Structure 1
Amino acid sequence: MLVAIGEFISNKLTNFFYMPKKNAPLELKAGILLVSEPFLDDPSFHRSVILLCEHSSSHSFGLVLNQRQEIVLDSYMDEKMMEEVPIYLGGPVDPTIMQFVHRRPDLIPEGLELGEGIFWSGDFERAIELVVAGELGFDEIKFFIGYSGWGAGQLEREVKSNAWMLHPAKADYVFDEPSTQLWRKVLFDKGGDYRVLSTYPDDPNLN
């Protein structure tokens, strides 16, 4: 039987029933999702799902998939006639940088494949042209400002401390799942005790 949520928090995620330790077989690499634990203190990553784009011994880099912003892309692309283009906050680092992921390598060259049906970056001008022309839908491309970054060994330490759970990325998660449901969806799909985590309310006092 699960112990009280207050005890989970006070134990700093060490209780097995609170943070199931089933992600060991997965390794940190490009194309992995980082799923935040339910009550991560950092407001920049509250219930976030991050697509890891790069991981090496010197640094790690990813994009938060489920923090859609109120602003739209035409605010950043004054020379283009673009309206109502959704944009996401990829993380707290350098919000002046814009990036994108897509699922159409046949239309956008030079992208880096992160997993089946998921490509990071590529010919930005071509991507914008396709969006403006209506030839690329928003279930095929996602724009981000800012990014999430870690220094050498930092992400490994955070994973070891159970701040993040790992799950393979799928194109459906990136492009099709509503951002407000993504965190719960990924945990539910992991199955087992993770499904219990997916039901936790934002406020632990409500449990």
Structure 2
Amino acid sequence: MPSPSDLKPGVLLISEPFLEDPSFKRAVILLCEHTRSHSFGLVLTQPQEVILDSIMDAKVMGEIPLFAGGPVDPTILQFIHRRPDLIQGGQEISPGLFWAGDFEQVIEAVVDGTISFQEIKFFIGYSGWSAGQLDRELKSNAWMVSQARIEDVFEEEPGKLWRNVLYQKGGNFRVLSTYPDDPNLN
């Protein structure tokens, strides 16, 4: 069973199979920050139908995929990347994985094609927890924890990520990965 000491930037929070909250159903969240006062993460499993170009002022970005980072403040744009050589000022949350950075450099790298979508992800909104809230949720078994792997964070088929991450954990987690979305249909 995971403990609050397992919570740190760079871990994945994997929702338990029967969590009904639509914002977190079968969700995998990359934890970007965890302190005594708050926790912050981005949902990796919820691609949106809108594209980044549709929310930017200038139509220069092309068809960039956009993810719902969580239910908190969908007016905030966040990004994660693995190209600190192109984007300065990001915070390393796991070896080779960065959150945020110089947005002007991001725009330039995307427009001129020097960064690919296997190296950067954009999110609107985020997932946030107040002091102690995530610790309590972890103790109540709402989340499982796994160290983030770069290939999971940039999974090209986010609909498969929840099952894949659980399967990789092995043991009883493999069994959980096979649970149907609706157990009544079993």
Counterpart selection for 2:40 from 43, 52, 61:
61
Q: Detail structure 1 runs of 4+ shifted over 2 Å in the superposition.
A: 23-26
Q: 1:59, 1:150 within 8 Å by CA — same for their partners in 2?
A: yes
Structure 2 length normalisation: TM-score? 0.96
Matching residue of 1:121: 100
Counterpart selection for 1:73 from 40, 52, 55:
52
Q: 1:131, 1:137 within 8 Å by CA — same for their partners in 2?
A: yes
Q: Which residues in structure 2 correspond to 1:13-52 (within 5 Å)?
A: 21=1, 23-24=2-3, 27-52=6-31
- Give 3-state SS (helix, strand or coil) of 2:166's partner: helix
- Give 3-state SS (helix, strand or coil) of 1:181's partner: helix
Task: Point out where structure 1 has 5 or more consecutive residues left out of the alignment.
Answer: 1-20
Counterpart selection for 2:168 from 178, 183, 189:
189
Determine whether 1:149 maps to 2:128: yes
Q: 1:100, 1:143 within 8 Å by CA — same for their partners in 2?
A: yes
Q: 1:67, 1:179 within 8 Å by CA — same for their partners in 2?
A: yes
Amino acid at match of 1:55: H
- Deviation for aligned residue 1:83: 2.0
Change (3 A) 1:180 1:27: same
- Deviation for aligned residue 1:117: 1.8
Matching residue of 2:149: 170
Matched pairs, number: 186
* Counterparts of 2:145 and 2:71, CA distance in 1: 21
Task: Point out where structure 2 has 5 or more consecutive residues left out of the alignment.
Answer: none
- For residues 30-49 of structure 1, what are the alpha-carbon distances to aligned partners after superposition, in whole Å with 9 as ceiling and x for unaligned? 11110000010211100000
Amino acid at match of 2:166: L
Change (3 A) 1:198 1:162: same
Amino acid at match of 1:96: T
Amino acid at match of 1:166: V
Matching residue of 1:99: 78
Matching residue of 1:111: 90
Structure 1 length normalisation: TM-score? 0.87
* Counterparts of 1:188 and 1:165, CA distance in 2: 12
